Amino acid sequence: MTHTLQLSSERLRCEIAPALGGCIVGLWLGELPVLRSQPAAQLATSRQSASYPLVPYSNRIAQALLQWQGQSYPLAANNPPEPHAIHGVGWQQPWQVLAADAQSARLAYQHLPDAAWPFAFASTQEFRLTPDALELRLSLSNQAGQPVPAGLGWHPFFVKRPGSHIAFQAQGRWEMGEDKLPTRRASVQGLDTDCASLDLDHCFDGWDGLVQLRDEALRMRIRSDLGCLVVFTNGARDTVAIEPVSHVNNAANLVAAGQRAEDLGLRVLQPGETMSAQMRIEVEAVR
């Protein structure tokens, strides 16, 4: 049986599964699911959960081959049948509970070099539930003896109910090829549209840090200090993935191909250096 942590604050409830990739099993306002939510026992992987952490990178690394500072590092293709490495390594590893109470929890993951990622790092997740919001903080510390490419973010799946509408401001959108890798950047102003017929799996950059999502039952605001946002949904899906992330998809390999890390949001962490990010999901009922 999967051990979970239960957080509650007035009408908001959150359930976390540390051993299953440090994922969020569910988030509810009363009995109404905010995120895709189901019993922990029904989850075979954190990819089926309400949300999971993205560390030490987000989205895909092309053909599971990291190009970094003149060297090639084969990675595990960790989401078959895709040929790419995807969403980092934290979502596939158990996390240790450092502290937990009725409204908060702190988890940790220690990574040693392996086939999934060649550089040692440490990561922590912090969760705090208030009466109207879930607050998250994710940190990544470079424990390798060299500068490393680094990124992080979250992958929450919001329930797509009748009347779902998404709105946010951004400056660019990275178009995607059939291989699910970015091809070129187009100038856009974000989105302001209904979700029912939306068909997207794209990364937006120049995001201003706020997404407004509403439907017939809830109003939600997703806030983060990260500068990129991945939105993933289509007409056949009953969820909208709204993913605050630090960098563009396949960023490290785009840097190796000549693009600037700072233009892509990719951090280069020196030995011992730490990066952190925050996300806040604010929820209120439609009255």
The confidence score (pLDDT) of residue 181 equals 94
pLDDT at position 41 is: 85
- Domains annotated for the chain, with CATH where assigned, are 5-285 (2.70.98.10)
What is this structure's pTM? 0.96
CA angle 36, 41, 46 (to 5 degrees): 50
Residue 44, pLDDT score = 87
Residues of the chain with pLDDT under 50: none
pLDDT of residue 155: 98
The per-residue pLDDT for 147 is: 97
Residue 68 pLDDT: 95
Please give the pLDDT value at position 168: 98
